[in-house]
Amino acid sequence: MNEAIRPVPESPGQDTAQPILSIVVPTFNERDNVSALYGKLEAALKGVAWEVVFVDDNSPDGTWDVVRARARRDGRVRCIRRIGRRGLSGACIEGILASSAPFAAVMDADLQHDETQLPKMLSLLQSGEAELVIGSRYIEGGSADSFNRHRAGASALATEVAKRVLSVQVADPMSGFFMIRRDRFEQLAPELSTQGFKILLDVIATARGELRTVEVPFTFGSRLHGESKLDSMVALDFLGLVLAKFTNDVISLRFLLFAMVGGTGLLVHLGTLFVALRVLEFPFPEAQAAGALVAMTTNFILNNFLTYRDQRLKGFAILRGLLAFYLVCSVGLLANVGVAFSVYDQEPIWWLAGAAGALMGVVWNYAMSGLFVWRKR
Ligand SMILES: Nc1nc2c(ncn2[C@@H]2O[C@H](COP(=O)(O)OP(=O)(O)OP(=O)(O)O)[C@@H](O)[C@H]2O)c(=O)[nH]1
Ligand SMILES: [Mg+2]
Q: Best substitution site from 114, 229, 232 to test ligand 1's pocket, by max atoms within 8 Å of Cβ?
A: 229
Averaged confidence pLDDT in the chain: 89
Confidence of residue 376 (pLDDT cuts 50, 70, 90): low
| Ligand closest in space to the Cα of 24 | 1
**105 to 21, 48, 68, 115, 175: CA distances (angstroms):** 7, 13, 20, 10, 12
- Over residues 331-358, the mean pLDDT reads 86
Specify the residue with its C-alpha closest to ligand 1, atom 25: 228
Specify the residue with its C-alpha closest to ligand 1, atom 26: 108
pLDDT of residue 87: 86
In the reported structure, the alpha carbon of residue 255 is separated from the centroid of ligand 2 by a whole-number distance in angstroms of: 30
pLDDT of residue 4: 52
Give the number of the atom of ligand 1 that is nearest the alpha carbon of residue 109: 27
Give pLDDT tens digits for 17-60.
699 999 999 999 999 999 999 999 999 999 999 999 999 999 99
Task: Report the C-alpha gap between 250 and 367 in whole angstroms.
Answer: 15
Residue 8 backbone dihedrals phi, psi, to 5 degrees: -75, 125
Give the pocket of ligand 1 (CB within 6 Å).
26-28, 30, 55-57, 86-88, 91, 108-110, 112, 176, 223, 228-230
Task: Report the C-alpha gap between 146 and 126 in whole angstroms.
Answer: 32
| Strand extents, DSSP E, the chain | 21-27, 50-56, 77-81, 103-106, 132-136, 178-181, 213-217
Radius of gyration of the chain (CA): 25
pTM: 0.79
In the reported structure, the alpha carbon of residue 256 is separated from the centroid of ligand 1 by a whole-number distance in angstroms of: 26
Task: Report the C-alpha gap between 136 and 134 in whole angstroms.
Answer: 6
